[in-house]
Structure formats: C-alpha cells, structure tokens
Amino acid sequence: MPRVIHFEIHADQPERACTFYRNLFDWKITKWEGPMDYYVIVTGPDGQPGINGGLIRRQGKIDGTAVIAYVCTVDVPNIDEFTKKATSAGAQVVVPKMPVPGVGWLVYCKDTEGNIFGMMQADSNVKGA
C-alpha cells in the first residue's frame, strides 16, 4: 500500500522556518545544492521509523491559492514540554492537547510560517476525555 515517504513545509521566510524546526526538534536542515531554493530536512537516523522531508519558499500569498500546510505529526517524548518549547519558539497552539484513546496525546500548532503541524506523545494507556 502507498505510504507517506516525504513531507514538505512551505514558508514565506525559509531561514526563519529552518531555525524554528532546528530549535524545536533538533532536525538537521541543510540547503540543497540543486537549482532551486530548497532545504533538505533529516528528522532522525536511518533505521529509525519516520520520514525525512524538505522546506521550500512558499509560492504565492496565503490567500487560499498558496500551499499553507500538509499536516504532519511529529512523535515527541513529552507533549507538555514540546508544546512549551514550540510556543516559546513562536508557534501558536491551534488545537489544545487532547487524548487519542489507546494511542497517546495529540496537539496541533501553527508554526512561524502559518503551517499547521501535530505533535504526539505515545501512551497506550490514554483514555478518552
């Protein structure tokens, strides 16, 4: 079956977005040496479950015609700690921490570029609200 193998973040200010994600998740982000303004994102070591992605300058204004988000969810060890870290780095919480029964805790934030992303702390013991 098809699986997500890459994600892409669109940003008005790519350097600002790179700084945001480096500081928040300690991702390795490097400028691609190809013919376009593109950044390669490595989210973890090979062999660890997960995907890598990229970051590109947004094409168009946030007016309904430009790409503003493809929601990806990031596995974090402590949802409260990372929510504080995200808001300290300039993010806004757009959907507060909520239980996902039998899975864990989930929160949705908006980054410095207006993109929505999720963070989840795995916890199979979580019950419904």
Place of tokens 């015609």: 65
H or E element, residue 94: strand 92-100
Q: Regarding predicted confidence, which is higher, 24 or 1?
A: 24
Place of tokens 């790519």: 14
Pairwise CA distance, residues 115 & 11, whole Å:
8
Give the pLDDT confidence score for residue 14 in this predicted structure.
94
DSSP characters over 24-64: HH--EEEE--SSSSEEEEE-S-TTSS--EEEEEE-SS-TTT
Q: Regarding predicted confidence, which is higher, 129 or 20?
A: 20
pLDDT, mean of residues 56-82? 77
- How does pLDDT run across 3-62, given as a tens digit for each residue? 777 888 988 899 999 999 999 999 999 998 877 789 999 999 999 999 999 998 877 666
